Amino acid sequence: MELYNLKVFMTVANERSFSRAAEVLQRTQPAITLAVQKLERDISEKLLDRSGRDLTLTDSGRVVLEYARRFDNLERELQNSLAELRDVAAGRLVIGANETTSLYLMQHILNFRQRYPKVKVQVRRSLSSKIPAQVFDGDLEFGVITYDPEDERLDSHVLCRDHLAFVVSPKHRLAKQEVVSIQDLGGESFVAHNVISPYRDVVLKAFQKAKVPLNMDVEMPTVETIRMMVAHNEGVAFLPGMCVERDLKSGDLKEVKVRELNVEREIRLVFPACRILSHAAKAFAYIVMGPGGRIG
């Protein structure tokens, strides 16, 4: 089994197309087809179902794809290690975060870039629920999440703490109040984030416990669009405090405390418990965690 054929198969599986895989790998389509056929002969299994309009993976194809991705990750680790032998300050750092947690990384990345400008830093947008598995599998060197993964294969370090803020427009009827009861919110129209999170569940359960309707009339894909809707008095929202700091200072939004909802968030840096990390990753961990931080 040749690693090149595995890489070709992985590209075809990701692109769901022989022609698009050929473009990505800058090869002819017949060459791509032959590489996949040779891989199938080597392992005596059909990896792709070509009978339908679109390519689909067989059960064997899904297993091989998982291992192909692991080989690809190992190859990148090898390239990083060799680069670091030539230059300790070089390499690449890959961190996973969702839309909101990426904000907590900004200052750390700025500090890191000042000291190691030759290291390429990539922050990948990922679902928070999938980040721990991606870190363990080697797709990411670090992840930033807002919960304890409770996985003995992973370690985590609290970067900072934040809270969920109930925000309204300065023109809203509640804007002049410092504190309200959850009972006061039954008639409000909430602009919600359409990404499932533990903190969304906390809010839902609090309203259910209080037997107050939670009217999520609008769901938006990003925090930015939610902020804009609320600022235009088109609804109210619960958002991470750090995401609305500037709006609160500028007066575009107003935070109102909800007596029954005091939800704190711990933002955690997650990394493998046992795997040896690259020099770039260790340098980043030192900047984030300080000399007392424990990392492999």
Q: Place 296 in a pLDDT band, splitting at 50, 70 and 90.
A: very low
d(CA 90, CA 200): 40
Angle of the 29-43 helix axis to the 3-15 helix axis, nearest 10: 110
d(CA 257, CA 267): 21
132-149 pLDDT per residue, tens: 999 998 889 999 998 888
Angle of the 3-15 helix axis to the 59-86 helix axis, nearest 10: 120
Out of 32-41, 175-184, 284-293, which region has the weakest mean confidence (pLDDT)?
284-293
Instruction: Let me know how many helices (H) and strands (E) the chain has, helices first.
Output: 10, 13
Q: Candidates 2.40.30.10, 3.40.630.30, 3.40.50.300, 3.40.190.10; correct CATH number of 82-160+266-289?
A: 3.40.190.10
Out of 85-94, 180-189, 233-242, which region has the weakest mean confidence (pLDDT)?
85-94
> How confident is the model at residue 291, as a pLDDT?
63
Domain ranges of the chain: 3-78, 82-160+266-289, 162-264
Q: What 3-state class would DSSP assign to 1?
A: coil
> How confident is the model at residue 102, as a pLDDT?
85
Q: Place 292 in a pLDDT band, splitting at 50, 70 and 90.
A: low
Q: Candidates 3.40.1410.10, 1.10.10.10, 2.60.40.10, 3.90.1300.10; correct CATH number of 3-78?
A: 1.10.10.10
225-228-231 Cα angle (round to 5): 150
Q: Which of 96, 107, 144, 129 is nearest to 195 (CA)?
A: 129
Q: Place 126 in a pLDDT band, splitting at 50, 70 and 90.
A: confident
